[in-house]
C-alpha cells in the first residue's frame, strides 16, 4: 500500500513548533549568560536560513543585538527561499551583526547543525542532510559541559575554514542585481523567440 505524503501544513506546523521551542531555550541561556562568557560571539551551523535554529536566532535578534553579541553562521543551502530571512541582506530583518559562510561542498552536509552558547552550553541538531523539522530528528542539549563545548567550537572552526565567505549586501544592491538578472533573462528569451543569436563575447585581442 502506498503511503500518502503528509500535507505541507503539517510540516509548517512542526517547523513553527520547533522554532518556538528553540527560541525559548536560547532566550533562557542568553539571559543567564554573563557578557564575558559569551566571548562577544555566537556560532551557528544550519542547513539553511529556514532551519528552526536559524529562525529562532532571527526572532531573538533584538536581544542578541542588545547584548552586543555578533553571530558567525555557516549555511549549507543558500536557496532563493532563504533570502527573505535577511541573513545576507542588511536591514531590520536580522537585527544583529553577523559573518556568514557557505558550506557548499556536498560532503559537508554530514556535519550536524549546532549552536554554541557561551563556554558551557550548546545545542546540537541532526546532520544537515536530514530534515531538521522531523519529530524524530536528532537533538542534544549541552549544559555545564565546557569540554564538549570546546569540541564543538573546534568543529565549527574547521568547517568555517573550508566554507566560502558571503558578503552582506544592501537592499539597493540586491534590487539592482535582481533587475539586471531579469533584464538579461528577458533579452535572451526575446532573442531566442526571434531566432536571433545572443551577443557574441568580446575578443580579448583585437
Domain ranges of the chain: 8-170
For 6-32, what is the HEC assignment?
Answer: CCHHHHHHHHHHHHHHHHHHHHHHHHH
Q: What angle do CA 45, 37, 40 make, to 5 degrees?
A: 60
Phi then psi dihedrals of residue 149, to 5 deg: -65, -40
Whether the per-residue pLDDT at 10 is higher than 90: the answer is: no
Which of the four pLDDT bands, split at 50, 70 and 90, describes residue 206? very low
pLDDT digits 0-9 by tens, 136-170: 578 899 999 999 999 999 999 999 999 999 877 76
Reply yes or no on whether the pLDDT at 23 is more than 90.
yes
Which is more confident, 67 or 9? 67
**Is the Cβ–Cβ distance between 160 and 75 less than 8 Å?**
no
**CATH architecture, range 8-170:** 2-Layer Sandwich (3.30)
Say whether 98 sits in a helix, a strand or coil.
Answer: strand
CA separation (Å) from 41 to 4, 109, 130? Answer: 44, 24, 27
How far apart CA 21 and CA 52 sit, in angstroms, is: 9
**In whole angstroms, what is the distance from residue 137 CA to residue 148 CA?**
20
Amino acid at each position: 500500500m502506498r503511503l500518502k505524503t503528509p500535507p505541507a501544513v503539517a510540516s509548517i506546523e512542526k517547523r513553527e513548533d520547533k522554532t518556538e521551542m528553540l527560541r525559548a531555550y536560547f532566550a533562557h541561556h542568553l539571559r543567564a549568560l554573563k557578557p564575558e562568557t559569551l566571548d562577544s560571539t555566537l556560532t551557528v551551523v544550519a542547513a539553511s536560513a529556514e532551519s528552526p535554529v536559524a529562525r529562532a536566532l532571527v526572532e531573538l535578534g533584538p536581544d542578541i543585538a542588545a547584548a552586543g553579541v555578533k553571530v558567525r553562521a555557516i549555511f549549507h543551502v543558500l536557496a532563493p527561499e532563504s533570502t527573505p530571512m535577511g541573513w545576507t541582506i542588511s536591514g531590520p530583518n536580522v537585527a544583529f551583526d553577523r559573518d556568514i559562510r557557505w558550506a557548499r561542498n556536498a560532503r559537508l552536509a554530514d556535519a550536524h547543525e549546532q549552536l554554541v552558547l557561551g563556554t558551557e552550553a550548546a545545542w546540537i541538531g541532526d546532520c544537515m542532510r536530514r530534515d531538521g523539522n522531523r519529530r524524530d530528528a536528532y537533538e542534544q542539549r549541552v549544559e555545564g559541559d565546557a569540554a564538549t563545548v570546546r569540541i564543538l567550537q573546534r568543529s565549527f572552526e574547521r568547517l568555517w575554514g573550508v566554507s566560502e565567505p558571503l558578503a552582506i549586501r544592501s537592499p539597493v544592491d540586491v534590487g539592482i542585481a535582481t533587475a539586471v538578472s531579469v533584464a538579461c533573462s528577458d533579452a535572451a528569451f526575446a532573442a531566442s523567440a526571434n531566432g536571433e543569436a545572443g551577443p557574441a563575447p568580446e575578443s580579448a585581442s583585437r
